[in-house]
Amino acid sequence: MSVVLGDKFRFAAEAGEPGPLCRVDLWLAGKWLTCDDNMAYVPQFRRDVLDTAAWLRSGEGSPLPFAGLSAEATHRRLMQRAGDDDESEADYQLRGRFRVLLWGPTTDNVTAYLFRVEDRLVITLSFGREEHLLSHPEDAGVVFVVEIPAEEFVGILEGIAAALDAS
């Protein structure tokens, strides 16, 4: 029996039959994130999801770092020199402060950033894997943005970790 939590047009997760490897599908802003690899190694994936939930529950998460820039523009600015030889250590550390959904191979096809605005989260996401963009050209260059109450997002994370606990 699979478990579905959340709203696919904000954030949702679906876990398949429990086991050491389990199908986990994630959606953000109506986009299926785990389209390239939806088989999660449960011990690692569950731990990473719980770490994110605990981090957010403790009040962590920073506001948008650039005054006057939208979440989409901020995402693009953070990605500007990502991985380039001339990327400064300060830029690398700044980007790292906002990265989210770092849950192993299941989510390594996306780059996501999280910004906290009081009790709400603004999450931005872009697809970067060339194979994905070739089969989904409509995603090329697009930054998807969603706003969700922090409590709702954390609840979904804790719910998916509970569903995977049976594994």
pLDDT digits (tens, 9 = 90+) for 26-63: 999 999 999 999 999 999 999 999 999 999 999 999 99
- Residue recorded with tokens 């402060």: 97
Q: Where are the domains of the chain?
A: 3-164
Return the ∠ at Cα 72 (arms to 11 and 76), rounded to 5°: 120
From 83, 111, 109, select the one nearest 99 (Cα to Cα): 111
pTM above 0.85, yes or no: yes
- Give the count of beta carbons closer than 10 Å to the beta carbon of residue 56: 19
pLDDT digits (tens, 9 = 90+) for 79-101: 988 878 888 899 889 999 999 99
Dihedral (CA of 125, 146, 77, 90) sign: negative
Q: How confident is the model at residue 22 (pLDDT cuts 50, 70, 90)?
A: very high
